[in-house]
Amino acid sequence: MALGYNARVNASTKVVIGNTAVTSIGGYADWTNFSDQRFKTAVQENVKGLEFILKLRPVTYQLDINKLAAVLKEDQRIDDDGKIIMDSTSSMDLVSREEKSGIVYTGFLPRKWNRLLKVSALISAGWMLLRTKMICMACAMPSL
């Protein structure tokens, strides 16, 4: 499901809010994920904690928003005849993309995560979920 102008999804199990020009998604409550112990099975305390964390290599980075918009084909549409039409990008989107391109983010590089997970033999469903959440939380937070 895609919500917002030029929001695009590339999988049926994905939800995207906004396009690359979006600079803020907010509300008056935190984004939450349900976690109810009553429905968890095969719970084990087998997580490598500090040893794993000490191997992480945090980085700062900026996003090439124009390149991302091009890959997502945000400035294209398909006309009634099925032809791809290049739309002109609105001045508001251009300003928003430029603003977002200047943000310095803090996070981790996925390839380094994957290598670390393989080395640490932590590729279980739980760790993959935790890895995704940690990357999303870290990458979505601008550096202060």
Q: Residue 63 falls within a domain, yes or no?
A: yes
pLDDT digits (tens, 9 = 90+) for 66-90: 898 888 888 888 889 989 888 888 8
Q: Who contacts 8 (Cβ-Cβ below 8 Å, separation ≥6)?
A: 2, 16, 19, 72, 73, 74
Q: Residue 101 falls within a domain, yes or no?
A: yes
If one counts the domains in the chain, the total is 1
pLDDT digits (tens, 9 = 90+) for 14-26: 888 988 888 888 7
Other beta carbons within 10 angstroms of residue 66's beta carbon come to: 17
Domain with 80, as residue range(s), is 2-22+43-139
Q: What is the pTM of this model?
A: 0.54
Q: What percent of the chain has pLDDT over 70?
A: 71
d(CA 122, CA 37): 22
Q: Residue 98 falls within a domain, yes or no?
A: yes
Please give the residue that has the higher pLDDT: either 92 or 49.
92
The DSSP bridge partners found for residue 60 are 106
Average per-residue pLDDT in the chain? 76
Q: Residue 105 falls within a domain, yes or no?
A: yes
Nearest to 22 by CA among 76, 69, 59: 69
DSSP β-ladder status, 2-3 and 59-61: unpaired
Q: Residue 28 falls within a domain, yes or no?
A: no
